[in-house]
Amino acid sequence: MTVAEITSKLSRAGKDVNTVFSSIASLSKIIVGNPEFAKGVGILHSQVKKEIPNFNLGGAFVLHTARTSNAKVLTGGHDFKTIKGAVMLK
């Protein structure tokens, strides 16, 4: 979902999507979910939204991916500032 969000934004801005996608693919681990993963995202989204009403589904995908991969979320997104496992970038 995050790759789709990035490529959508770049495409709408008239940028070269292929070059950015190639960079993302070479520097990142792209995780493709399955039905159980999607269910986990939905449950996490529901739980976090109780505390952070504007928390979006894309954020839940990122957070669930990090948690199931024993990774941290590096973000500047204000919705993550109180979430355990998120590292806020300035």
**Residue of 39, 9, 45 whose CA lies nearest to 24:** 9
**pLDDT, tens digit, for every residue of 25-52?**
999 888 888 999 999 999 999 999 999 9
Specify the pTM. 0.74
Q: Tell me how far apart the alpha carbons of residues 34 and 37 are, in angstroms, rounded to a whole number.
A: 5
Q: Where are the domains of the chain?
A: 1-30, 33-90
What integer pLDDT is reported at residue 8 of this predicted model? 87
Residue 52 buriedness (CB in 10 A; 0-12 / 13-18 / 19+): middle
> Could you please report the per-residue DSSP string of 11-54?
HHTT--HHHHHHHHHHHS------HHHHHHHHHHHHHHHHH-TT
